[in-house]
Structure 1
Amino acid sequence: MIFLQELKRLGLLDSLHITIAQIGSRKLSLNDDLGSQEWQIFAPNLTIYGFDADVDACEAANQDLQERAPNWNEIHLPIALGRETTEVTLYVTKNPFCSSLYPPDENFVNRFPRVGHHSSLDFTVEIDVMALDDFLDQEKINSIDVLIIDVQGADLDVLQGGQKILAQSVAAIQTEIEFNSLYIGQPLFADVDQFLRANGFSLFDFNLAYRPRTEVFLPPPYRRGQLLWGDGYYIRDLIKDDSSNWLTQDGKIFKLACIADCWGFSDYALELYAYILKNFPESSFVQLGMKQAVIDSLLAIPDVTEMGIESLSILEDI
């Protein structure tokens, strides 16, 4: 992030509240602890709702939060999310973090040593799943800013169960995507990408995961392996979609810029800050010193000062 530290120092984040829904919130590593990662910049104005089918994982996460007493709001709910509120089969694998609403394709995953031993089916159980929109309506929650989804092949199901909140308030999505079927019948990248583009989101970046074959033990660089899955980062492109009513609301644009910067898409964040400065000169964010915060943040980058800040054409309007 480039701009958020200076914006926070000047108090521009004080009136901003970020709400994240983390679907598949089992904490396997520090990266899964969102509040202690880059999102911490928004604390105490940060709320995280974690959803996971594993009751024990939710209890452990809530107990850890109680002991730590963080300066943000976070709760983990033992609720499985899906396309609709109904009863479905959960396919529980040898390592529970690979469990899914879709059965594992063992004939395929067993060809990859770092995948197959995690994904073998252990047992099945019938569980209740809930659509995200139904949960939010039930709890009278009317705003989610960011969705972070990792539910082993059922990510599109979760998105389809949250179309109301997608249209209403979601600005950015990080979702796991598969390029090959690790689970039988699961949606793949093309299906997720088509759905999100149809709902006003643009693909910004990938994190990609390759895995080598079981019987092929070649040293690097010959064993890159096959592309199996990754994380896709989707954000609303408000400059492209000028018909969006979001462009009439400087608060939503500012929030989106902060989220983009938090994820490292600082060029897009700068474009949005410049849009606010040009089109909303009376905005409260501008009055609080956003222009100076943006310029000072850029001047702190050695490459910018070396080439001269005037070389950034986007700043001409500022």
Structure 2
Amino acid sequence: MDHALLALAQNIGLTALDVGARGGVNTDLGPVAEATKYVGFEPDAVECARLQNAGIGGGWKQVQFVPVALADYEGTFDLNLYSKRGCSSKYRARQDLGKLFCRGEFYNLDQIVKVPCSRLDDVLHKEGILEPAFMKIDVQSMEVEVFNGAPRTLKEDLVGIRTEVSFFPMYEEQPLFAEIDQRVRQDGFVPMRWLENHEWRRATGKKPYSMADGPLPFSRGQLMHADVLYLLHPEALPTNDEKSLRRLVRLGLVASCYQHYDHAMAAFARPYVRQLCQDQWKIDPFKAVERMSQAEVTLTRRLAWRLMKTLQKNFA
């Protein structure tokens, strides 16, 4: 991260929400970690305690874990704990469909536990978490419920969302990609790119480019789920008060973390945003984004040069 943008992040402050923190921390905002408060939500009490005691590293400015599930109401629900804990969900899994893709054992039901749930808007207010900029969400089919419990956060605060989306119903009544995409677009978010794609094969649990035994050692699989990056559309945001200007600054910072430099520049180019950065913090975000984009060109050329030298050496 450019030193000027990092200083900008430290001055304006960033908060990243990790909804479904099982297994470890999302590091997408790693370039600005030292200026970012990380807040993880994990309803499985055992896993939440493990995360709290493990120490996550990464140089975050502040770390907090909240042992609650997020939904669109206040209350409780039954959480199905499956043998592969990362597949645990409020929704009942279709084990028969899992078997089609050599993953039926993932969905053996070990236990059902009752967990407390709250609306994200309410939890943030209760915990005193202000102006979160980014959300990573991986909650095994509850994404739309979480978004519906966060209308204020989506409308007023967030600038970026990394969400898991599914293309095949591994759970009963599971919302798929089209429904999730439609929901976040309501608040001005636009899809930027796929961050992960997961394809499942029918004859093996191996990934597409791993060779399997038998008559079909190689095959592309079926697209089952993926992670998509959504960012706010800069031109859709108002610039009539300081909170709106700060939100655009955060959009520029998050977009820069993902190397979407033209999107970052569009955010900083909105009326009064560049002026705010220059007047309050003596930082010109235009020049900082330009430096980052140009540095990528230099890095790419260096990598290409090293690859060429390696090939020349190996084939000389």
Deviation at 1:270, TM superposition (A): 2.9
Q: Which moved more, 1:139-148 or 1:242-251?
A: 242-251
SS in 2 for 1:129: strand
Confirm or deny that 1:268 pairs with 2:268.
no
* Alignment match, 2:246: 251
| Separation of aligned partners in 2, 1:141 and 1:47 | 9
SS in 1 for 2:174: coil
SS in 2 for 1:183: coil
Confirm or deny that 1:231 pairs with 2:223.
no
Say how many residue pairs are matched.
289
Contact 1:24 1:52 in 2 (8 A): yes
Confirm or deny that 1:47 pairs with 2:47.
no
Confirm or deny that 1:127 pairs with 2:120.
no
Please tell me the residue identity of whatever aligns with 1:87.
T
Deviation at 1:149, TM superposition (A): 0.5
Deviation at 1:174, TM superposition (A): 0.7
Confirm or deny that 1:62 pairs with 2:52.
yes
Coordinate RMSD, CA, aligned: 2.8
* Alignment match, 1:182: 170
Structure 2: gaps spanning 5 or more residues: 205-213, 302-316
* Alignment match, 2:149: 161
| Separation of aligned partners in 2, 1:305 and 1:184 | 45
- CA offsets 1:101-152 (integer angstroms, 9 cap, x no match): 1000111111111x32212222323322111112122223332111111011
Confirm or deny that 1:7 pairs with 2:8.
no
Contact 1:246 1:253 in 2 (8 A): no
Deviation at 1:173, TM superposition (A): 0.7
Contact 2:20 2:40 in 1 (8 A): yes
* Alignment match, 1:151: 139
Alpha-carbon distance change, 297 to 88 in structure 1, aligned in 2, over 3 angstroms:
closer
| Separation of aligned partners in 2, 1:8 and 1:103 | 45
- CA offsets 1:264-288 (integer angstroms, 9 cap, x no match): 3223123333x15x75553333742
* Alignment match, 1:102: 91
Structure 1: gaps spanning 5 or more residues: 307-318
* Alignment match, 1:118: 106
* Alignment match, 1:219: 217
Alpha-carbon distance change, 246 to 56 in structure 1, aligned in 2, over 3 angstroms:
farther
Please tell me the residue identity of whatever aligns with 1:14.
Q
Alpha-carbon distance change, 251 to 187 in structure 1, aligned in 2, over 3 angstroms:
same
User: Given the two structures, how large is their TM-score scaled by the length of structure 1?
Assistant: 0.81
- CA offsets 1:12-42 (integer angstroms, 9 cap, x no match): 3331211011111012xxxx423xx342332
Contact 2:255 2:263 in 1 (8 A): yes
| Separation of aligned partners in 1, 2:115 and 2:40 | 18
Alpha-carbon distance change, 6 to 45 in structure 1, aligned in 2, over 3 angstroms:
closer
Please tell me the residue identity of whatever aligns with 2:25.
D
User: Given the two structures, how large is their TM-score scaled by the length of structure 2?
Assistant: 0.81
Q: Identity across aligned pairs (percent)?
A: 24
Contact 1:17 1:42 in 2 (8 A): no
Deviation at 1:255, TM superposition (A): 1.3
* Alignment match, 1:297: 292
Please tell me the residue identity of whatever aligns with 1:17.
G
Please tell me the residue identity of whatever aligns with 2:81.
V
- CA offsets 1:28-87 (integer angstroms, 9 cap, x no match): xxxx423xx342332432111111111121111111228x69452111222111121122
| Separation of aligned partners in 2, 1:260 and 1:182 | 32
Contact 1:12 1:288 in 2 (8 A): yes
| Separation of aligned partners in 1, 2:264 and 2:70 | 31
Q: Which moved more, 1:244-253 or 1:51-60?
A: 244-253
